[in-house]
């Protein structure tokens, strides 16, 4: 048995087509877990499935369509068995200033980034394997506590997800379900790689991170696996920030004269 003890655990994973979701899927697969993969990106979902040798069922699902979530989760439970673990990775952001974002654009971010986590959680709670402890991990962001200019409400949606997860930890803890967060910092994914294409831009970003590197999707996957495992059996309502120390650098921006 591995230290994480995730062999044959049943996992529902949203956002499986993206860089972070794919890394999490691969990490669970390597541990011998049974997965159901969800994403609205059919092509990306097929790529993740192919990476895992099509060992796990995949379901095309747009989390903005809330009425489709429960039936999709039920189909997944039929395919892999009653779920024991839920990981919500799927998210979206609109590159727009708040003065310009439409009500529909703002609402869609809230629907995908926040409301969907409640709906997937409710479906998980109804269908879960009650013979085993349950674990939910929601992927938030350092944007939940640090506003993103021109993010059109992305920070607000992630802040709401953070508080939702803490409330779930309180309400569902007595049901045997732990609920936690992972908040990534600067992570190199297919979606963000354009920001790092220029070596000078990448070097500038690395210079402001105490760890002096940009994070990898696997860094997030490692935190998710820990929170999903029995090793974290007394961890609930926690937010693991995976950012190389970046959010702790506020005081370094204050101009100071050298002393001595």
Active site residues: 154
**Beta carbons within 8 Å of 83's beta carbon, 6+ residues apart:** 10, 11, 12, 36, 73, 76, 77, 124, 127, 128, 129, 134
DSSP E strand boundaries for the chain = 10-14, 34-39, 58-60, 85-88, 134-139, 177-184, 239-242
Q: Answer whether 224's CB lies under 8 Å from 165's CB.
A: no
212: left (phi over 0), alpha (psi -120 to 50) or beta: left
**Beta carbons within 8 Å of 163's beta carbon, 6+ residues apart:** none
Cα distance between residue 56 and residue 158, in whole Å: 29
């Amino acid at each position: 048995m591995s230290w994480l003890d995730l062999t044959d655990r049943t996992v529902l994973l949203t956002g499986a087509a993206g860089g972070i979701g794919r890394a999490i899927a691969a990490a669970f697969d390597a541990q011998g877990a049974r997965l159901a993969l969800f994403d609205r990106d059919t092509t990306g979902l097929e790529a993740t499935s192919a990476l895992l040798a099509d060992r796990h069922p995949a379901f095309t699902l747009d989390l903005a369509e809330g009425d489709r979530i429960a039936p999709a989760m039920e189909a997944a439970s039929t395919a892999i068995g009653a779920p024991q673990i839920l990981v919500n990775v799927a998210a979206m952001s609109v590159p727009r200033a708040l003065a310009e974002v439409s009500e529909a654009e703002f609402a869609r971010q809230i629907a995908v980034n926040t409301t969907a986590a409640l709906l997937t959680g409710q479906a998980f709670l109804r269908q879960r394997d009650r013979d085993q402890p349950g674990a939910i991990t929601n992927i938030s962001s350092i944007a939940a506590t640090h506003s993103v200019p021109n993010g059109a409400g992305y920070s607000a949606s992630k802040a709401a997800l953070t508080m939702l997860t803490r409330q779930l930890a309180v309400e569902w803890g007595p049901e045997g379900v732990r609920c936690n967060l992972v908040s990534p910092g600067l992570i190199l994914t297919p979606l963000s790689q354009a920001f790092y294409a220029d070596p000078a831009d990448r070097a500038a970003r690395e210079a402001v991170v105490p760890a002096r590197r940009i994070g990898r999707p696997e860094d997030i996957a490692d935190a998710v696996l820990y929170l999903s495992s029995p090793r974290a059996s007394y961890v609930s309502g926690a937010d693991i920030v995976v950012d190389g120390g970046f959010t702790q650098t506020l005081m370094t921006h204050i101009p100071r004269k050298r002393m001595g």
